[in-house]
Chains A and B, each alone.
Chain A
Amino acid sequence: MTQKLVVIGAGMASGRAIEHLVETAPDAYEITLFGTEPRGNYNRIMLSPVLSGEKTYEEIVTHDADWYATHGVTCRFGETVTGIDRARKVVLSAGGETPYDKLLIASGSNPFIIPMPGHDLDGVLAYRDLDDTYAMMKAAEKPGAKAVVIGGGLLGLEAAAGLKMRGMDVTVVHLMGHLMERQLDEAAGYLLRKELVGRGINVLCSSNSKEILGEDGKVRALLLDNGTELPCDILVMAVGIRPNTALAKEAELAVGRGIHVDDQMVTSDPDILSVGECVEHDGAIFGLVAPLYDQAKIVAKTLLGEAAAFAPKQTSTKLKVTGVDLFSAGDFAEGDDREDIVFRDPARGVYKRLVLQDNRIIGAVMYGDTADGNWFFGLMKDGTDVSDMRETLIFGPAYQGGAAADPMAAVAALPADAEICGCNGVCKGQIVEAIQGGATTLEDVRAQTKASGSCGTCTGLVEQVLAVTLGDDFVLPTAKPVCTCTDLTHEDVRRLIKSQELKSQPAVWQELGWTTPNGCHVCRPAINFYLLADWPLEYQDDPQSRFVNERNHANIQKDGTYSVVPRMWGGITTAAELRAIADAADKYNVPTVKVTGGQRIDLLGVKKEDLPRMWADLNAAGMVSGHAYTKGLRTVKTCVGTDHCRFGTQDSTGLGIKLEKRLWGSWTPHKVKMAVSGCPRNCAESTCKDVGIICVDSGYEVGVAGAAGMDLKETEALAKATTEQEAIDMTVAFVQLYRENARYLDRPYKWVDKVGLDWVKARVVDDVENRMALVARFDLSQTVYQKDPWAERADAKTQRAWSALADLTLEAAE
């Protein structure tokens, strides 16, 4: 009979344990999972890249509610377990009683909050979960915001670096004499501090916090015991974690620092197991992910009645701060019976230290160059006698046995059981096995072994194992192909489409040797764009090769509804248009009406089947699609210019409208946003647009290649136009040059960065004949593509195509 397993805590350890269980024996248990956070399981060690903006939450999700559902796990996310009745074998929660045959406690740990005065003020945060991360990100939005981080350990420094990258003014307050004192010695701590100070982070070591000062219940500053006051908007406490044992204690299980478990991960109650940061095994508690994953394996085996025993392994540490290379393993305290081997290269900021005892490595600290870290770690774990290689040991495996220095040698010299991916416990042998089984790329290896799939710091190592194992067959991907359907790059494909006169997608697939029958979601939109840009008259645009937004002419939202944005030429509208928009919002129950940054009105939350009728209504009021969903011209933002403004030098609104009327409807490699400001006060924010024009008394300054998204970049001066017509021609020619040459999904600033502004100037500014030829080719394309997609789709046929093919709900109900 299927037994009932209740799991308390939806974190990384329990996630991995459940994964093992459902993979090995999907029917052994009926699993119910309780999680206090109102979401599924995510890769908690990747919160730092989320904080710094290098990753998004979506990218670090490992198991969401749907994953659990697919595997038959009943999820009770957002529901906290309040008690365990061991006698009756039930757990208690807001939802009532849930019976269990086996119980797995994975309650994790709580961040330790120093109980100093003011610790309960608003703005005092821990750094533990996604909500903490979001709270920090929110605080960083305020310009000039200040943060104080208490704790110069792994977590505190990752928080500090992330907040700094978000633009905050950051101070780290650390009690000990040097940073990360549990993992680093003083010298490495010094180099790390130097790096962080170089990034503009204020680091105070040997500093004791006394009190958190507040104002109106909100944190205002941290007071140190030497009297220094550090003003701050948020205060992050990252001083360690404590196993969360409250439930276990209350249920009278054996609890020390953590919940006591034996080698099989069973607690003092034979029907209750525990895993993760909440456990204490053989006197030790655990905070790094590798041993937790090992425990998860043992838990799954024990639950399935297989023999297994948890044996803690030594672990190594890396800091997840981009650009900081740091490795630490083992014990490196000084002692009479210990010897050090130290290597320093001050100019490169490199420091390496090995600690030896009885001719064996017992500790390793490296900063600046950590390539040999895993080799040292291997020698350390195996207890290898290093007396024979002592003289050259510090130079790494490449120098052992007199072999010539080769960057790959370090990896080649690693034994099969050397650990490559610490997070997932993947050793070199498993990766080699996967490669011998046919894996040829990093993605293949990741899919088959999980190596480099968690924190990602071993990605380079995995690539080196690929290179060593495959030899000449492995080419480190320098020129990135479009996708897995071809080995050609975007640039190759564009060139060949022109030179071989390929005018259809099947022609591209055939002539350029595509490996798939009809491409994939990555290459199809790109090829479709290249073809329509190069052969506007011959090629027929393929909606089925477009991303949903461009196919449905509306932006899909996360719940499957769409947004509708009517065009407002240069941001100018009328009372009649606003009335029509308001009427449409009422008629189609639009839940959200928002003013956009591009001087438009966004109607969000529209059902797909309502789109054609809504477009027809807006069309009838004289409005057309705003193309807010395209890789094409979005908006031309303007100020009021000479019409109303006492500073305006030219008719900026008029020029903006002319540009928009000329350019709308054209497809481009990525979206294009423009602005025209009537004077250098730049109220239309022209200097961060793809094309931004600033009017001056003597004419028009045309700037290009600005950015205000993932990157922030000021426009570069393309040219000064003396007449309005010249400004328009240059803008149109620039857009056409971009359409003809850029790779798909490169914004103009990325493209200009690749080809160089001088190359662009030569074609758009200096060579007037070429400029006008570009303009002519643009206008030719516009004869085909400058059509209002709304008007074209406001018919009964589209209405049908945009609705369900059939409705069986009534039949099924009968």
Chain B
Amino acid sequence: MSWIDIGSIDDVPVRGARVVKTAQGCVAVFRTAADEVFAMSDTCPHKAGPLSEGIVHGHKVTCPLHNWVFSLETGEAQGADDGRVPTYPVRIDAGRILLDGAELAKRTAA
């Protein structure tokens, strides 16, 4: 694990998301109504819609392009749709959002 400080929790809207640019594409960082954070690829496996622009509800996000719904916890598509979005370890420490750089690097190398 090598935690990278990517910003303050206040920079992400409640029930919203922001993106972090990485070498292998954008990662969406979500903030739920209960102030939990989740990180996963910003790219919907269906038609590459930007998941960070979706509506966040509970522990789920709905892709803005065709309404696929994904679990923020597992990245799994919900309901009848079939697909998975890669997720990344992320945590909050003293109001700062920390993303696991080692995991990002690992995926890049793979």
Contacts and interface: CB of A to CB of B under 8 A. Distances in A.
B partners with A: yes
Interface of A: 58, 64, 66-67, 69-70, 443, 446-447, 453, 516-521, 524-525, 543-548, 551-552, 556, 558-560, 801, 804-809, 811-813
B22 A558 contact: no
B53 A552 contact: yes
A812 B4 CA distance: 11
A552 to B, nearest CB: 7
A517 B26 contact: no
Interface in B13-57: 13-16, 18-24, 26, 29, 33, 45-50, 53-57
Given A67-B45, A520-B57, 12 more contacts: A544-B16, A545-B55, A546-B55, A548-B54, A552-B53, A559-B48, A801-B11, A801-B18, A805-B12, A809-B22, A809-B23, A811-B4
A599 B55 CA distance: 32
Given A560-B50, A805-B29, A812-B105, A447 B18 contact: no
B20 A805 contact: yes
A66 B65 CA distance: 15
A63 to B, nearest CB: 8
A453 B53 contact: no
Contacts of A805: 6-7, 11-12, 18-20, 29, 97
A811 to B, nearest CB: 7
Contacts of B108: 812
A67 B81 CA distance: 10
Considering the complex of A and B, which 9 residue pairs feature the smallest CB-CB distances, nearest first? A521-B62, A812-B23, A805-B18, A806-B6, A548-B64, A544-B15, A521-B55, A548-B53, A66-B45
A444 to B, nearest CB: 10
B89 interface: no
B62 A447 contact: no
Contacts of B92: none
B53 A556 contact: yes
B95 interface: no
Q: Give the residue among B21, B29, B62, B105 with the most A Cβ atoms within 10 A.
A: B21
Q: Which of A544, A551, A806, A807 has the most chain B CB within a 10 Å cutoff?
A: A806
Contacts of B55: 520-521, 524-525, 544-547
Nearest to B42: A560
A807 B25 CA distance: 10
Contacts of A547: 55, 64
Contact of A521 (B45, B50, B69): B69
Nearest to A62: B82
B21 A806 contact: yes
A452 to B, nearest CB: 11
A521 B54 contact: yes
Contact of A804 (B19, B45, B80): B19
Interface string B60-82: 10101111010000000001101
Contacts of A548: 53-54, 64
Contact of B22 (A524, A560, A812): A812
A808 B54 contact: no
Nearest to B29: A805
A469 to B, nearest CB: 20
Given A556-B53, A560-B48, A447 B4 contact: no
Nearest to B67: A521
Interface residues of B, number: 49
Contacts of B20: 804-808
17 contacts: A70-B45, A517-B33, A520-B69, A521-B62, A524-B55, A524-B57, A543-B13, A544-B55, A556-B64, A801-B13, A804-B20, A806-B20, A808-B23, A812-B22, A812-B23, A812-B105, A812-B108
Nearest to B45: A66
B72 to A, nearest CB: 13
Contacts of B14: 544
B91 interface: no
B21 A70 contact: no
B80 A447 contact: yes
A58 B66 CA distance: 9
A574 B38 CA distance: 48
Contacts of B24: 812
Nearest to A812: B23
A69 B43 CA distance: 13
A559 B29 CA distance: 20
A524 B62 CA distance: 12
B65 A556 contact: yes
B71 to A, nearest CB: 13
B43 to A, nearest CB: 9
Contacts of A812: 22-24, 101, 104-105, 108
Nearest to A542: B15
B93 to A, nearest CB: 15
B89 to A, nearest CB: 14
A64 B64 contact: no
Nearest to A63: B82
Nearest to B77: A70
A453 B33 contact: no
B18 A804 contact: yes
A139 B37 CA distance: 51
A804 B50 CA distance: 13
Given A66-B83, A70-B45, A808 B57 contact: no
Nearest to B56: A544
B14 to A, nearest CB: 7
Contact of A447 (B15, B19, B33, B79): B79
Contacts of B82: 67, 70
A70 B84 contact: yes
Contacts of A520: 55, 57-58, 60, 62, 69
B4 A808 contact: yes
A523 to B, nearest CB: 9
Nearest to B46: A66
A67 B12 contact: no
A552 B16 CA distance: 12
A521 B12 CA distance: 19
A808 B4 CA distance: 9
A516 B49 CA distance: 25
A813 B108 CA distance: 10
B83 A67 contact: yes
B102 to A, nearest CB: 11
A558 B21 contact: no
A515 to B, nearest CB: 11
B21 A807 contact: yes
A813 B23 contact: yes
Contacts of B53: 548, 551-552, 556
Contacts of A813: 23
A801 B10 CA distance: 11
A447 B67 CA distance: 16
B80 A453 contact: yes
B36 to A, nearest CB: 12
Contacts of B48: 66, 559-560
A69 B47 CA distance: 12
A412 to B, nearest CB: 27
A756 to B, nearest CB: 32
Contacts of A808: 4, 6, 20-23, 99, 101, 104
B67 to A, nearest CB: 6
Given A519-B57, A806-B6, A809-B23, A70 B83 contact: yes
Given A524-B55, A806-B6, A443 B80 contact: yes
Nearest to B12: A805
B105 A518 contact: no
B27 to A, nearest CB: 8
A346 to B, nearest CB: 43
